[in-house]
Amino acid sequence: MNRAVALRIAACGILGLGAALLIAALLLSTYTHSKIAKIPLDLDATLISDGSGTAFDPASLNSERFVVDRDVPMVQQEQLTVESPSNADVVTLQVGSTLRRTDKQQEAGLLLALVDTVTVNRSTAEAVSSESNPGGAVQKPRAMEDDKPPTNIALPHEGLAYRFPFDTEKKTYSVFDPIAQKAFDANYDGEEDVNGLTTYRFTQNVGYDSDGKLVEPVKYASLYEDDADSEVTARAAMWGVPGEPDEPITMSRYYAAQRTFWVDPVSGTIVKRDEHGYHYYAREPLKPEVTFVDYKVAFNEETVESQVASAGNERDRVALWGRILPITFTAMGLVLLVGGALLGSFSLRAESALIDPGLDEADHGFFDTQGIKVPGAEAKTEKIPTSRPTDLPPDRPV
């Protein structure tokens, strides 16, 4: 194999590698990005919110009158894990949440508890349903000492659940509230920096208007078969309302909430959340009479830092496959294509020189020493004729 053929093979190989890198860059920026930008299947997070509020004292159930305490320290905890079914397209999130008074111990401090399960699309974070999976469920309440397996109650979800979609837009999204058991709008409300991360802020009102006025509270949907916590009948004296002390009065429980979400627009991770929840008993929806709990809590600093770090990891993963590698492959591909083209041109000229030796002359300049003319090396040898002498001395023989 001569040098020209070897150069031509090398040029073809370089051109092929360059083209392959350009194709890989195109696939990474389109097809592969859609496969990477998905909710991870290994989510396992504990979200803690601290705050305070007004809360019912469960111990007063055995007293002459219900007691409601003000300025009570509270903590809300959510444990988020991944359950089955989860695959390439969907992920099932199970979220166990509790709201406790931190000034009381164990059951005496427990105010709210809910285990919510929902299957969502891994890209859009929208709840999905199928014949075998209704798209969500809530766990039936049970006592602390109950050792029986938990029982789920089917609860179809709609809208977003616990996440926002990848590439979140500046628009209104429908976000599911498992306590109200329906979705409510979360409206875009501007950008804000959270621990160095630029986020989109969304606000959601459940039963409130934008000014924080109670306008359409939701009647609490009990998870007990006898609706024990959604309608309560007690003596007027226990309720602390005017009337005959022993007159039985039935009140219904109502619920309203306001939330603010700070969302990483790339991954859809909620990195910060403020929540105001209001549960109360009343005979008329818009006339609260006895507060069960009225609280305001927000992610603590450790939770915010953890969520920002999680969002950063997802951003890096998406950026690596969706931007960094495509740009790198494109640059390398272009360099290799140009290099391969130049090498191919060189191989053609080399092959032509081998076929036609005349190409080696100075007028072609292919093997010219960088344009430097060397007369001694290139000059053709000339024969210089010598003249025969005609006049010789008489004494010398010819």
Residue-range domain boundaries for the chain: 36-298
pLDDT value at position 318? Answer: 75
When pLDDT is averaged across residues 265-276 and rounded to a whole number, the result is 97
Q: CA 216, 221, 222, 228: dihedral to nearest 10 degrees?
A: 40
CA-CA-CA-CA torsion sign (64, 70, 73, 76) = positive
CA-CA-CA-CA torsion sign (35, 38, 40, 41) = negative
Distance CA 259, CA 212 (A): 11
| More confidently predicted of 84 and 27 | 84
- As a whole-number percent, the residues of the chain with pLDDT over 90 amount to 56
Number of H helices, E strands in the chain: 6, 14
pLDDT value at position 34? Answer: 67
pLDDT value at position 362? Answer: 45
Beta strands in 90-130 (DSSP E): 90-101, 110-121
- On the question of pLDDT at 123 being above 80, the answer is yes
When pLDDT is averaged across residues 43-70 and rounded to a whole number, the result is 92
107: alpha, beta or left, given left = phi > 0 and alpha = psi -120 to 50?
alpha
Distance CA 78, CA 45 (A): 8
pLDDT value at position 245? Answer: 92
Nearest to 264 by CA among 100, 125, 60: 125
pLDDT value at position 10? Answer: 77
Mean pLDDT, the chain, whole residue set: 84
Q: In this predicted model, what pLDDT tens digit does every residue of 201-240 receive, in sequence order? A: 999 999 999 999 999 999 998 888 778 789 999 999 999 9
pLDDT value at position 395? Answer: 53
pLDDT value at position 32? Answer: 62
pLDDT value at position 36? Answer: 80
- On the question of pLDDT at 398 being above 50, the answer is no
- On the question of pLDDT at 394 being above 80, the answer is no
- On the question of pLDDT at 328 being above 70, the answer is yes
When pLDDT is averaged across residues 153-180 and rounded to a whole number, the result is 95
Q: In this predicted model, what pLDDT tens digit does every residue of 75-86 receive, in sequence order? A: 999 999 999 889
pLDDT value at position 134? Answer: 72
Split at pLDDT 50, 70, 90, the class of 374 is very low
Distance CA 24, CA 19 (A): 9
**Choice among 22-31, 68-77, 325-334 with the minimum mean pLDDT:** 22-31
Split at pLDDT 50, 70, 90, the class of 352 is low
pLDDT value at position 372? Answer: 46
Nearest to 94 by CA among 166, 157, 168: 157
Cis peptide before 85 (omega within 30 of 0): yes
